[in-house]
């Protein structure tokens, strides 16, 4: 019974880590473009 619960927990943890990784990468790309992240959107950056 523990295996299915452990599997679901590992999938959830991997998903959450992926979300935070992508948010960090988005912020770095925005900063490199000269902008800043406001409400999860890059403002003022040049492509």
Beta strands in the chain (DSSP E): 36-38, 41-43
Per-residue confidence (pLDDT) for residue 5, from 0 to 100: 96
Do 25 and 42 touch, CB atoms closer than 8 A? no
Per-residue confidence (pLDDT) for residue 15, from 0 to 100: 98
Beta bridge partners of 36: 43
Residue 43: pLDDT band with limits 50, 70, 90: very high
Per-residue confidence (pLDDT) for residue 2, from 0 to 100: 87
pTM higher than 0.85: no
Residue pLDDT, tens place only, 7-37: 999 999 999 999 999 999 999 999 999 999 9
Is 4 a residue whose pLDDT tops 90?
Answer: yes
Domain ranges of the chain: 2-43
């Amino acid at each position: 019974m523990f295996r299915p619960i452990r599997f679901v927990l590992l999938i959830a943890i991997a998903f959450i880590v992926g979300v935070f990784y992508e948010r960090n990468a988005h912020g770095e790309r925005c900063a490199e473009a000269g902008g800043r992240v406001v409400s999860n959107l890059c403002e003022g950056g040049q492509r």
